[in-house]
């Protein structure tokens, strides 16, 4: 898209009605639940965005990163 790289990923999920303040729903909470936070932080470091939406049993992740005249972003 013009001067941006767009990455769009989607996956199905089972909605959980429980309020959970944890990073993950997996049993092993020590080693899971940090990937999304790291992707958001990395996108922001490159002046981009990372957004996640969850609707109707589908989770969508969108990463938008600026590209400057064919040069790698520092």
- Please give the pLDDT value at position 37: 86
User: pLDDT tens digits, residue range 22-41?
Assistant: 456 677 766 766 788 889 99
Q: Is residue 60, in this structure, part of any structural domain at all?
A: yes
Q: How far apart are CA 7 and CA 65, in angstroms?
A: 9
Q: Is residue 72, in this structure, part of any structural domain at all?
A: no
Number of domains composing the chain? 1
Q: Is residue 74, in this structure, part of any structural domain at all?
A: no
Q: Is residue 73, in this structure, part of any structural domain at all?
A: no
pTM flag (> 0.75)? no
Q: Is residue 56, in this structure, part of any structural domain at all?
A: yes
- Segments forming the whole domain that contains residue 40: 4-17+24-66
Q: How far apart are CA 71 and CA 50, in angstroms?
A: 21
Which residues in the chain come in under a pLDDT of 50? 21-22, 69
- Please give the pLDDT value at position 72: 54
């Amino acid at each position: 898209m013009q001067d941006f790289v767009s990455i769009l990923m989607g996956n199905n999920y089972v909605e959980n009605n429980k309020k959970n303040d944890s990073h993950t729903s997996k049993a092993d909470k020590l080693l899971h639940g940090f990937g999304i936070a790291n992707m958001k932080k990395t996108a922001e470091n490159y002046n981009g965005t990372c957004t996640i939406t969850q609707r109707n049993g589908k989770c969508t992740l969108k990463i938008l990163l600026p590209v400057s005249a064919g040069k790698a972003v520092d």
